[in-house]
C-alpha cells in the first residue's frame, strides 16, 4: 500500500504526517534538513506516492533536494492549502502537516512550478541590485532630510554631483559634517556595489540570446528582460501567450452574481517585481520612447479613453503577452504587428 506525506516546513524543524488507506499512521518532527527528512521517510513510508509541502522561503531548496533523494516531492500553492488548513480547530504545525497529508491523499491541490537553481540565481542578482538601488535612494533622501533641518538645501542631483553638493554645503559646518559624512560614505559604497551588480547583470544579458531578443522591444532593458525570462523560464510552460498576463496579475478581477456583473482592479498576484518592471517599461513606451510602433499607438489611443495609469497597465499586460510570443517564436519585435 502507498503512503501520502505532508510536510509543514519551518526554519528549524519540520512537522511530518504520514497517511495510508485513509488513516494517519505516523506523525512527528524532524530537523529541517532534506537529507534527514528523506532518511526518515524511507524508513517510515517506503512506498510514498506523494510528498506535499507549501510554498515558502525554503520551498525551492526542499523541492530540488527531495527530488534528488528520489522522493515524489510536490510544492502546492499556500493560498489554496490555507483554505483547507483553516478547517482545523487548532492551528499547530502538526495539524498543518496532517492537513497537507490529507490533501496529498485525496489529490485536492494545485501544484506550483518550482524554478530551477539557475533561474533563481539570476533572479537573486536582479533582486540584490534592486535592493541596493533602493537603499541608496533611501540614504540619499535621509541625507537631504537631515541637512534641510539646518537650512542646507541640497540641489536636485544624483551621482557624483550629489556628493560634490553635500561636501560644499558642509564645508563650514564641522559639527554636522561628523554626522553626515559617514552617511555619505555609506551612500557611495552602496552605489558602487549596485553598479558592480549592474555590470554583472548587463554582461549576462549580453550573453543570453533570449534577453537580446526581448531587448529589441523599445523600453525593455536588460533588467526587465532578465527578470521576465527567469520568471517564465520555458515558454512551453504556458499554452497560450495571453495566460502570462493573468499569471502576472495584470488582468482585471471579475465579479458576477445574479444580475451583477462588473470588472474591478487587476489581481496583482504573481511576481510583483516582474509586474512592476513591465509597468515601468509601459510608462517608457507611452512617454519617453521615440520608436513608433503599433503598441505605442494603441496605448496612446487607450490613454485618451481611460487615463494614463490604466492604459499603462494595459500596455504592460500586452507587453507580457508579446514577450512570451517572441520567446516562443524566436522572432524579434515587429513594430507593425505588436498589438495583433
For the chain, how far is it from start to end, CA to CA, in angstroms? 53
- Please report the DSSP string for 69-125 in residue order: TT--EEEE-HHHHHHHHTTSSS--HHHHHHHHHHHHHHT---BPPPPPHHHHHHHHH
Is the model's pLDDT at 253 over the cut of 50?
yes
* Model confidence band, residue 339 (pLDDT cutoffs 50, 70, 90): low
What pLDDT is stored for residue 259 in this prediction?
Answer: 78
Q: Which tens digits make up the pLDDT trace of 202-214?
A: 999 999 999 999 9
Same domain as 152, residue 88: no
Give the pTM: 0.85
For residue 19, how far is the Cα from the chain centroid? Answer: 34
Same domain as 324, residue 224: yes
Same domain as 197, residue 278: no
303: closest CA among 321, 279, 287?
A: 287
**For residue 337, is it within any domain?**
no
Give the residue from 46, 78, 106 where a domain finishes.
106
**For residue 338, is it within any domain?**
no
Contact present, 176 and 147 (Cβ < 8 Å):
yes
Angstrom distance (rounded) from CA 70 to CA 74: 12
Continuous H helices in the chain: 34-44, 59-68, 78-85, 93-106, 117-148, 160-169, 174-207, 209-214, 222-232, 242-247, 272-287, 294-306, 308-329
Q: How many beta carbons lie within 10 A of that of residue 45, not counting itself?
A: 21
**For residue 340, is it within any domain?**
no
Average predicted confidence (pLDDT) for the chain: 92
What pLDDT is stored for residue 23 in this prediction?
Answer: 94
What pLDDT is stored for residue 255 in this prediction?
Answer: 80
Q: Which tens digits make up the pLDDT trace of 287-324?
A: 988 888 899 999 999 999 999 999 999 999 999 999 99
C-alpha cell belonging to residue 251: 488582468
Range of the domain at 128: 117-207
**For residue 334, is it within any domain?**
no
282: closest CA among 330, 213, 339, 243?
A: 339
Buried b (16+ CB within 10 A) or exposed e, 4-41: bbbbbbeeeebbbbbbbeeebeebebbebebeebbebb
Is the model's pLDDT at 68 over the cut of 60?
yes
242: closest CA among 324, 301, 339?
A: 324
Give the residue from 186, 207, 228 where a domain finishes.
207
**For residue 258, is it within any domain?**
yes
**Which residues, 6+ apart, have CB-to-CB distance to 216 below 8 Å?**
332, 333
Is the model's pLDDT at 41 over the cut of 90?
yes
Same domain as 219, residue 323: yes
Burial of 187 (0-12, 13-18, 19+ CB in 10 A): buried
**For residue 233, is it within any domain?**
yes
* Model confidence band, residue 337 (pLDDT cutoffs 50, 70, 90): low
**For residue 305, is it within any domain?**
yes
Angstrom distance (rounded) from CA 237 to CA 155: 49
What pLDDT is stored for residue 340 in this prediction?
Answer: 46
Choose the weakest-confidence range: 92-101, 105-114, 329-338.
329-338
Number of domains the chain is built from: 3
Averaging pLDDT over each range in 64-68, 170-174, 253-257, which range is the top one?
Answer: 64-68
Question: What percentage of residues in the chain have a pLDDT greater than 70?
Answer: 99
Same domain as 237, residue 301: yes
Q: Which tens digits make up the pLDDT trace of 132-180?
A: 999 999 999 999 999 999 999 999 877 788 999 999 999 988 999 999 9
Helix axes 160-169, 174-207, angle to 10 degrees: 180
**Which residues, 6+ apart, have CB-to-CB distance to 319 below 8 Å?**
217, 220, 278, 281, 282, 285, 295
Give the residue from 150, 175, 207 where a domain finishes.
207
Amino acid at each position: 500500500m502507498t503512503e501520502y506525506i505532508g510536510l509543514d516546513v519551518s526554519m528549524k524543524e519540520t512537522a511530518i504526517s504520514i497517511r495510508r488507506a485513509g488513516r494517519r499512521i505516523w506523525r512527528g518532527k524532524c530537523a529541517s534538513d532534506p537529507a534527514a527528512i528523506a532518511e526518515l521517510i524511507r524508513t517510515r513510508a517506503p512506498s510514498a506516492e506523494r510528498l506535499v509541502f507549501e510554498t515558502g522561503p525554503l520551498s525551492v531548496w526542499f523541492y530540488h533536494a527531495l527530488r534528488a533523494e528520489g522522493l515524489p516531492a510536490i510544492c502546492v500553492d499556500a493560498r489554496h492549502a490555507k483554505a483547507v488548513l483553516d478547517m482545523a480547530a487548532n492551528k499547530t504545525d502538526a495539524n498543518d502537516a496532517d492537513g497537507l497529508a490529507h490533501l496529498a491523499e485525496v489529490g485536492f491541490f494545485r501544484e506550483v512550478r518550482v524554478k530551477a537553481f539557475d533561474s533563481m540565481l539570476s533572479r537573486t542578482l536582479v533582486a540584490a541590485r534592486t535592493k541596493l538601488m533602493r537603499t541608496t535612494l533611501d540614504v540619499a533622501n535621509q541625507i537631504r532630510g537631515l541637512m534641510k533641518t539646518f537650512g542646507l538645501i541640497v540641489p536636485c542631483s544624483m551621482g557624483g554631483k550629489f556628493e560634490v553638493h553635500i561636501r560644499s554645503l558642509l564645508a563650514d559646518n564641522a559639527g554636522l559634517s561628523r554626522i553626515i559624512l559617514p552617511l555619505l560614505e555609506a551612500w557611495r559604497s552602496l552605489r558602487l556595489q549596485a553598479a558592480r551588480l549592474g555590470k554583472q547583470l548587463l554582461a549576462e544579458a549580453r550573453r543570453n540570446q533570449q534577453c537580446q531578443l526581448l531587448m529589441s522591444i523599445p523600453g525593455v532593458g536588460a533588467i526587465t528582460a532578465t527578470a521576465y525570462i527567469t520568471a517564465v523560464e520555458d515558454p512551453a510552460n504556458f499554452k497560450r501567450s495571453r495566460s502570462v498576463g493573468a499569471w502576472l496579475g495584470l488582468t482585471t478581477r471579475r465579479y458576477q452574481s445574479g444580475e451583477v456583473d462588473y470588472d474591478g482592479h487587476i489581481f496583482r498576484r504573481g511576481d510583483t517585481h516582474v509586474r512592476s518592471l513591465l509597468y515601468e517599461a509601459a510608462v517608457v513606451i507611452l512617454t519617453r520612447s521615440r520608436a513608433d510602433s503599433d503598441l505605442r499607438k494603441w496605448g496612446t489611443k487607450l490613454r485618451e479613453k481611460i487615463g494614463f495609469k490604466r492604459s499603462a497597465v494595459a500596455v504592460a499586460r500586452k507587453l507580457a503577452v508579446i514577450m512570451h510570443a517572441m520567446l516562443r517564436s524566436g522572432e524579434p519585435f515587429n513594430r507593425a504587428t505588436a498589438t495583433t
